[in-house]
Amino acid sequence: MKSMVVDEDTIPPHQRSTIHFLFHPDVYRRSTMPPEARAQWQQHAFSGIQLFKRQNVLSQYDAWYKQSVEQWCEIPGFQEYWEKARTATRQEVAPTKLVFARMATTGELLPIRLRYMQIAISGKTSPAVAALLPDDEAARAVFASFDSVAS
């Protein structure tokens, strides 16, 4: 079995991302895709764009960023999702996790929903700042209980 090794430098920078893969015509234009799969693909595409924007928020005025977006805009369908992502709130796209947390004041164990957010200087996952934010009333109450115990 022959191993295929690709030198990253031979791949144009705008093609080294999930966005390019998701909008590639072989993936995006599949007419045989069932509605459930199409809806899941749309969510992946939307989330991929939001992730790119969050991870590169400090680079949005850099030449490489603008050039990547311009090149992706040449891919059919991309610009529509890029514009939708511009107007979307973070709550619509950031993934949530359901976890159990203990109230610091009462010891009660509650199911809470947290939203994971990450901001990075580049397209890399490190270095970055990450946070788990409360996403429902129960989570906000648990976080508030930590503050009341610390006071």
3-state SS, residue 139 = helix
Task: Return contacts of 41-46, CB within 8 angstroms, 24+ apart.
Answer: 42/81, 45/19, 45/81, 46/81, 46/84, 46/85, 46/88, 46/93
Q: In the prediction, which pLDDT does 91 show?
A: 46
Give the least confident one: 2-11, 71-80, 106-115, 136-145. 2-11
Q: Where are the domains of the chain?
A: 12-89, 94-151
3-state SS, residue 60 = coil
Give tens-digit pLDDT for 57-83.
Answer: 788 889 989 998 998 898 888 888 888
Mean pLDDT (the chain) is 79
Considering the entire predicted model, what is its pTM?
0.51
Distance CA(82)–CA(97), nearest Å, equals 25
Give tens-digit pLDDT for 23-35.
Answer: 877 776 655 677 7
